[in-house]
Amino acid sequence: MNNKKERHIFSRLLIGLIMFFFYLPIVYTVIFSFNSSKSLSKFSGFSLQWYEKLFNNSDMMDSIFYTIIIAVLATVISTIAGTITAIGLSKSNRVLRGIVEQVNDLPIMNPDIVTAIGLLMFFSSLAIKKGFLTLLLAHIMFCIPFVILSVLPKLRSLDPNILDAALDLGCTPRQALTKVIVPQITSGIMAGALIAFTMSFDDFVISYFVTGNGVNNISIMIYTMAKRVNPTINAVSALIIFIITVFLIIANMAPIIKEKRIKKEKLSK
């Protein structure tokens, strides 16, 4: 009994230490984003001056704008393309499905630097001018495999005859897809979208190689600023943490709110 209790205490202590290790840098960054001095080790007093400088810096605000726009567009496009591809693969023969799944795993397993150089050479060979379009295309490319990887397990868990049953009951192929298949794999689609958004939002290596014409995301901007002591980086990092936290809260609360609304509608009937 005592050994069991000791193991329980030890496991909780270990989890607490791991959480402390993970979240201490985040808390540290947020606190020092309000520091009144340039020191990154001594908190001198509360101030919003670094946020003021951040919002008055046009280059920084442009990078935030491009980061959000690219992340949102890449997430929407890659989620739609990845979901359709995953549904198509689930109805394909085993050989074709196996080949496509192996190809889909390559961008995930491939080092970012190799993918970045490959995309750079590809765009250069086609004489495509580096900028917003190349950055968006690159982000869509590396986000789609993660969406497919998230949606496929949900499709495998479905009854293989569910599509035929929907068609037999009078659904058109489009209705069967949107009203039968998609609602049952929503959690997988949401997971893929969250991963795609996160991957796009904080990507640096690939973005650094494929962008140009003054189009920079936050990661590239922070890299250029990190060569000298600049507390504005803390303000940028805190803003990123806030945006991602809000996005995660919305993404996690939306299914809960939807489920409660459905339960209320059922009870009202």
What confidence tens digit (pLDDT) does each residue in 46-99 have? Answer: 888 888 888 888 888 888 889 989 999 999 999 999 999 998 888 888 888 888
Distance, in Å, from the CA atom of 216 to the CA atom of 230, rounded to the nearest integer, reads 18
Cα 216 from Cα 197, distance rounded (Å)? 17
Highest mean pLDDT among 54-63, 243-252, 256-265: 54-63
Mean pLDDT score, 5-17: 80
Three-state DSSP state, 40:
coil
- 219 vs 225: CA distance, rounded Å: 10
Q: Are 125 and 194 in contact (CB under 8 A)?
A: no
- Give me the pLDDT at residue 105, please: 84
pLDDT at 11: 82
Contacts of 211 (CB under 8 A, 6+ apart): 130, 131, 134, 135, 217, 220
**CA-CA distance, 45 to 67, in Å (whole number)?**
31
Mean pLDDT taken over the chain: 84
Q: What is the pLDDT of residue 72?
A: 92
Is-contact 51 33, C-beta < 8 A? Answer: yes
For the whole prediction, is pTM greater than 0.85?
no
For residue 160, name the pLDDT band (cuts at 50, 70, 90). confident
| Residue 135 near residue 70, CB atoms below 8 Å | yes
Q: Does pLDDT of 1 surpass 70?
A: no
Summarize the confidence of residues 239-253 as an average pLDDT: 79
| Amino acid 2: pLDDT | 61
Q: What is the percent of the chain where pLDDT is above 70? A: 96
Where do we find the tokens 């109805």?
91
